[in-house]
Structures are given as structure tokens and as C-alpha cells.
Amino acid sequence: MRRLLWPLVVLALLLVVNVIFTPTFFSIQMREGHLYGSLIDILRFGAPLILVSLGMTLVIATGGIDLSVGSVVAISGALACLQISQDAGVLTAVVLALGLSVLLGAWNGFLVAAVGIQPIIATLILMVAGRGLAQLITDGQIITVNDPAYKLIGGGYWLTVPFGILLVLAVLAVTVFLTRRLALGMLIESVGGNAEASRLAGIRSRGIVIMVYAFAALCAGIAGLMISSNVSSADGNNAGLWIELDAILAVVIGGTSLAGGRFSLGGTVLGALIIQTLTTTIYSVGVPPETTLLFKALVVTAVCLIQSPAFRDKVFRRRGRPPTPRPAAEEKVRVTA
Amino acid sequence: MTTETLTHGRRLAVPAKYVPILVTACLFAAMFVAGGVRYEGFASGQVILNVFIDNAFLLVVAVGMTFVILTGGIDLSVGSVVALSTMISASLMAGPGWPPYLVIPLVLLIGSGLGLVMGYIVHAFDIQPFIVTLAGMFLARGLCYTIGTDSIPIEDPTFTAFAQTRIDLFADLWISPSVLIAAVVVLGAAYVLHYTRLGRGVYATGGSEQSALLMGLPVGRTKITVYTISGFCSALGGVLLSFYMLSGYGLHAVGMELDAIAAVVIGGTLLTGGSGFLFGTVLGVLVLGLIQTIISFEGTLSSWWTKIFIGLLLFVFILLQRLFSARRRN
């Protein structure tokens, strides 16, 4: 729980700032059978980011990183919209898009686990080529679709709640169940801690790594469906642009170490919410939206510095506890890579 | 011992460390020959020089990136710093009418300063370079948009002179002044990497930070220096880009960090650090530029094929690197 303290403080601070500037910030209304309100908006617009960050958390927990999720978001949205515009059923479109996403993720996992390429580079390939692939699918155009069933995924409501939020809750529940109720989470952490040692201990680390990348891509695929369904169109060039960076930030803000071996799903959700709330805050406070990135940079730096043991030792001069020895951390990264 | 003689015998006595560069060089030659056979007017020296002219800024940025990657780090902020440099120089010359000889040093100073701060945070607080430079990327892009969201034209006579000057070489070949600047940067950087203490420190840090530390090398100072160099190179790349574009714009050089990283990787530098050459980076930039040239010569291919080709090339080269490093270990 202590790991979640700082992200919680930051999120609370952001919410307080919002309430000061817009006193009605916390009010949630019922209009035409739908829930409305700033908090609901944060959840709704943050849904794709939360999804992508969830997948990213597991990848980072194995000591990897996935830069290609933004491209997968674009590809999945593009393929689904293309199918629907060619009169395929929504279900076929969704299944095809998600299937392709999982395939792309498995490809990433194959490169990392079987070929042994550094994760950052292995996924860089798909990050660069995937954008091209998405544009190839849409033929460089923006495909617009008009299908009420497809619209539900990202823009619709179900039982008065935006469908996207329910989708996120479902994925979150399944992930928490799989990783915290079953042994899977521990296996993932063990692979992230030391892949070779886990293999010797009888864990099929290859299979786990491939599965984790496939899961990250599946999450990105769902997020891609949400984003394209929300705007009823697919844009191969700009959909999900830089979402991988936001997702990595969310994971880091949530207290998951980039070195792998540990992860916190709750922290990641908090991290994603902080990023989304930050964007909302900037609009509601009336700061020009151009400076969003500036604020993001400041918050990221602040959160990372606070979480760095070296920084806390230097600034707060904690007594009695020596700083975490560097060499140990260094060695672990080596072995994982 | 035996493995060494074996590999030497099999590989025509080319030291293993030069093999990735040789592969890239062969690829470049093959692409050039293929282009020359396929398209009329392709096989001329000017086509290669044009690649240099159109990519001088990328070359300078990639040089800085090579330093960082050689130490085992990564710098995601380069594209944004390039954009910030174009934006600062354009706005300072358009608004208060500052002269170029003040603006250019100031821009270089700001770029180096940003790099210095990022390097310091990476070293002193032990935060991953990926995250620190990501924050730097957001910061620099955000500063661009704070200065202005529109493109600002540059009308300063010195800048336009730089943009339009042609330096004639022999036989109708010509280059732009930017290419000269980039060449000076490459030569200077190659000298630093191979003939100075800093250069040895860079390779040692990338090879094994722990050993470098135990050997008494100034690892911290080296790390801070490479990020400063990268910041400086990005700022200089920004100045060259503003010569080329004659405008400052917050959306310039979006995704350039990827191009720079791709160029370094295709050039044969290992991303784990400690192994690679600056000349490889030059070849990497040339290969990327030649892909674009071929696609524009082809005419019917859409621009997104560039991305797919670059992705494929990255894949092939990383696979090759992987093969070589696996063989060396055996």
C-alpha cells in the first residue's frame, strides 16, 4: 500500500485543484438515462489509456517494454473500420481486429523470447512498420463508419454507464483474477526478476513472455476499437499516437519498476487516471491546452524524482538507511536482458 | 583461441567488430546499384549528395544519439529539442529581431543545457534514461507550443543565404553549407570517440558500467557529458533544419528520435552499448535517405511504404546483430 501513497496524493491534489476551479466538479447527474459528470468523463476518455497501461504493466513486469502498442491501436481500429465499411458484421470485424492484434503481440513476444532481441528494439520494429501497415489498411484515407452496434464500444452506454468503463472494469477484473488469484502473476514476476533462474526452476519463461506481449497487444487492440468507435472513424496516421509513452508513464507513476520483477495493477490504474485527470485539469483550470505537455513533463519529473530512492536520500537525508546499492540493480537488468 | 582462428579463416580475416558496418555498406551499395539499374538518372553522384543535403540535420542528431547509445542509454528528446531550436530561433528573429550570431549560440546553449540537466538526473537520481528523456521530450515539445502554435517563417538574410548557397564541387556536383557543418560534426565526433579519454570512457561505460566504475573511470561525468553532447547535436540539428525549412514550427521533426535510433541501429551500433562506430551511423542515415529517394523515384509507391521498409530493415539488421553476437559468445 505504501507504494500507492504518492500516486494517490498526486491524484488527490489534482482533484482538489479541479474542485477549487470548478465547484461542481464532483457532481454526477443523470440525463436521459445516462450518467454525466466530469469524473465520468475522466473515466470514459481515460479508458483506452487504462487498458493499454494494464497490458504494458505485465510486459514491464517481465522486464520488457512494448513500444508498438500505439501502432497496434491504429491497426486494430483501421482493420475493424475497413471490415465494417465493407459490410462485414460488427462481430466479425471485432474478432478479426483483435485476432490480428494478438498475432502482432505474439510476434513481438517471439522476437523477445525466442530470438532474444532486446524488448525495446524488438517492439520498435513494429512501432515503425505498424504505422505504415495501418495506413496501408486504410489506404492513407480516414475511413468513416456509421454503425450503431460498433458505436457502442467506445461511445455508447449500457445500464446508464458508458460502455467503455464497463469494458475496462471487465478486463481489469479478469487481469487481477489471473495474476493475483492464480499463480500466473508470480510466474510473471519471477521471469522479470531473473528469466534464466526461472527457467531453471521449471517455469516456461518463453511461453510466459510471448503470452504477456500478446496480452498487451490484445489490450491495445481493444483500446483501438474504443478510440475508433468513439469518433466513428479510423485514422491510420494519428490514432493512438504516443499512447505507448503515456502508458509507460502511467505504469512508472504507478510504482512498477522498469527493471521488472514486480508490478502493481492498482498503481497503473492510478497512474493512467493521473495522466487523464491532468489533461482534464488543464482544460478546466483554463491553462492554454498547448501547455499540456509542459505540465505532463513537470508532473512526470516530480513523481519519478519522489519515487527515486537516490533522490529521497539526497533531499530528505533519511537517517539509518543506506541508499539502495547501485550494482545490484545494474546486475539484475543485465541478466534480464 | 580456436574460435578466433576459425572465424578468421571463415570470414576473410575481417575483424568481427567491422562486420555489421560492412553489411550496411554492402546494402547501401546494392540499393544504389539496384536504383541505378531501375531508374533513369539515379546513378549519379548528385543523388547521393542530395541524400546528404536532405538529411544533414538527421545526421547531426544521429551523431549525438550514437554517443548516448554507446553508453547504453537512449535519448528520446532529440526530435523535440530540434523543434524547440527551430521555434526559438524563428521567434527571436521574427519578434525582437535578434541577429543570427546571437540566436544560434543561444539555441546551442539551451540544447546543451537541456541535455546536461537530463544527464544529471539520469546519473544522480538513478532514474531510467528512457523515462528522463521522455519527460525531456514532453518538456521541449510543450515549450514549443507555449512559444506559439503556428509556423513562424524565417526571413533573416543570413539564414536564407545559408539555405540557398550552393557549394560547387567538381563536375557539376554541389552540396549545401549544412552538409559541410554535418561533416565537421561527424569528423569531430569521430576524433573524440577514438582519440580522447572521453571516447574511451564512453565505450567502457557502455561495455560494462560496473567494470568502468571499478577501473576508476569517471562514469558519472561520462554519462552527463554524452547527454549534453546529444542535446548540443539536437540543437545544432535544429539550426540546420531551420536553414532547410526556413521556418520554426512546434510540429517539426515529430518522430525524429525514431529515425535517429533506426539510423544508429542500422549502422551496426549495439543498443546495449559499448560497441559501434560513428561511420556506421553515417551509413545508417544514408540508407534511410536512399529508401526515401527510391520511393520518390518509383513515384507510384505511397509514403507509408517508407515506414514499412524501415521497419523491415530494422528487423533484418537486428537479427544480423543477434546472430553475430551469439556467434562471438560461442
B-facing residues of A in 144-173 (CB < 8 A) are none
Query: Could you tell me if B271 lies within 8 Å of chain A, comparing CB atoms?
Result: yes
Residues B135, A304 contacting (CB under 8 angstroms): yes
Give the model's pLDDT for residue A70.
92
Whether residue B84 has pLDDT greater than 60:
yes
**Is residue A2 a part of any domain in this protein?**
no
CB atoms within 10 A of CB A42: 21
**Can you spell out the DSSP letters for A111-122?**
IIIII---HHHH
Shortest distance, CA B305 to any CA of chain A (angstroms): 6
- Domain tally, chain A: 1
Q: To the nearest 10°, the Cα dihedral for B149, B154, B155, B158?
A: 160
Q: Which residues of B touch A311 (CB under 8 A)?
A: 124-125, 127
Looking at residue B243, the DSSP 8-state letter turns out to be H
Residue A325 CA to residue A134 CA, distance in Å, equals 45
**Is residue A4 a part of any domain in this protein?**
no
- Name the residue of chain A whose CA is nearest to B326's CA: A116
Q: Which of B142, B261, B319 sits opposite A124 (nearest CB)?
A: B261
Give the model's pLDDT for residue A329.
42
Residues A241, A94 contacting (CB under 8 angstroms): no
B-facing residues of A in 255-294 (CB < 8 A) are 258, 288, 290-294
Query: Could you tell me if A248 lies within 8 Å of chain B, comparing CB atoms?
Result: yes
CB atoms within 10 A of CB B147: 18
Query: Could you tell me if A85 lies within 8 Å of chain B, comparing CB atoms?
Result: no
10-residue mean pLDDT profile of chain A (337 residues): values are: 76 86 76 76 90 94 90 93 87 93 95 86 86 87 84 78 88 92 88 85 89 95 92 82 86 82 89 88 75 79 77 68 46 40
A-facing residues of B in 243-262 (CB < 8 A) are 258, 261-262
Three-class secondary structure of residue B245 per DSSP: helix
Q: Which residues of B touch A244 (CB under 8 A)?
A: none
Residue A26 CA to residue A17 CA, distance in Å, equals 12
C-alpha cell at A219: 489490450
Q: A320: burial class by Cβ within 10 Å (0-12, 13-18, 19+)?
A: exposed
Residues A221, A171 contacting (CB under 8 angstroms): no
Looking at residue B149, the DSSP 8-state letter turns out to be S
Share of chain A above pLDDT 70, in %: 93
Residue to test with chain B: of A293, A308, A333, A335, most B Cβ within 10 A = A293
Whether residue B191 has pLDDT greater than 50:
yes
Tell me what the mean pLDDT of segment B191-217 comes to. Answer: 91
Buried b (16+ CB within 10 A) or exposed e, B296-316: eeeeeeeebbbbbbbbebbbe
Question: Inter-chain contact A310–B126, Cβ cutoff 8 Å?
Answer: yes
Taking the mean position of all CA atoms in its chain, how far away is CA A324? 28
Give the model's pLDDT for residue A256.
83
* ipTM of this complex prediction, to 2 decimal places: 0.76
Q: Residue A158: which H helix or E strand, with range?
A: strand A157-158
Query: Could you tell me if B305 lies within 8 Å of chain A, comparing CB atoms?
Result: yes
Q: Which of B141, B265, B315 sits opposite A293 (nearest CB)?
A: B141
Share of chain B above pLDDT 70, in %: 94
What is the domain extent for residue A321?
34-336
Query: Could you tell me if B101 lies within 8 Å of chain A, comparing CB atoms?
Result: no
Residue to test with chain B: of A60, A136, A141, A294, most B Cβ within 10 A = A294
In whole numbers, what is the pLDDT of chain A averaged over residues? 83
B21-73 pLDDT per residue, tens: 888 888 889 888 988 888 887 878 888 888 999 999 999 999 999 999 999 99
Three-class secondary structure of residue A268 per DSSP: helix
The CA distances from residue A167 to A163, A191, B200, in Å, are: 6, 29, 53
Q: Which of A118, A129, A326 sits opposite B307 (nearest CB)?
A: A129
Residues A240, A223 contacting (CB under 8 angstroms): yes
**Is residue A102 a part of any domain in this protein?**
yes
Whether residue B325 has pLDDT greater than 70:
no
Residues B119, B93 contacting (CB under 8 angstroms): no
Whether residue B285 has pLDDT greater than 70:
yes
Query: Could you tell me if B149 lies within 8 Å of chain A, comparing CB atoms?
Result: yes
Residues B136, A300 contacting (CB under 8 angstroms): no
In whole numbers, what is the pLDDT of chain B averaged over residues? 86
Give B21-28+45-329's CATH code, choosing from 1.10.10, 1.10.3210, 1.10.3470, 1.25.40.
1.10.3470
Residue A22 CA to residue A199 CA, distance in Å, equals 54
Give the model's pLDDT for residue B13.
61
**Is residue A104 a part of any domain in this protein?**
yes
**Is residue A181 a part of any domain in this protein?**
yes
Looking at residue A323, the DSSP 8-state letter turns out to be P
Residues A11, A270 contacting (CB under 8 angstroms): yes
Residue B94 CA to residue B154 CA, distance in Å, equals 7
**Is residue A11 a part of any domain in this protein?**
no
The residue whose grid cell reads 540543437 is B235
A-facing residues of B in 194-213 (CB < 8 A) are 209-210
Q: What backbone phi and psi angles, to 5 degrees, belong to A332? A: -65, -45
Residues A249, A84 contacting (CB under 8 angstroms): no
C-alpha cell at A2: 505504501
Least confident of A191-200, B297-306, B308-317: B297-306
Q: Which of A116, A128, A132 sits opposite B262 (nearest CB)?
A: A128
B-facing residues of A in 100-129 (CB < 8 A) are 115-118, 120-122, 124-129
**Is residue A171 a part of any domain in this protein?**
yes
Shortest distance, CA B309 to any CA of chain A (angstroms): 7
Q: Give every CB contact of residue A110 below 8 A, 6+ residues apart in sequence.
A: A210
Residue B219 CA to residue B209 CA, distance in Å, equals 7
pTM of the predicted structure, to 2 decimals: 0.83
A86: left (phi over 0), alpha (psi -120 to 50) or beta: alpha
C-alpha cell at A292: 499540456
**Is residue A140 a part of any domain in this protein?**
yes
**Can you spell out the DSSP letters for A120-134?**
HHHHHHHHHHHHHHH
B147-156 pLDDT per residue, tens: 888 888 888 8
Domain holding A58: CATH number?
A: 1.10.3470
Query: Could you tell me if B272 lies within 8 Å of chain A, comparing CB atoms?
Result: yes
Q: Domain coordinates of chain B in residue numbers?
A: 21-28+45-329
Question: Inter-chain contact A258–B130, Cβ cutoff 8 Å?
Answer: yes
How would you classify the pairing of strands A157-158 and A161-162? antiparallel
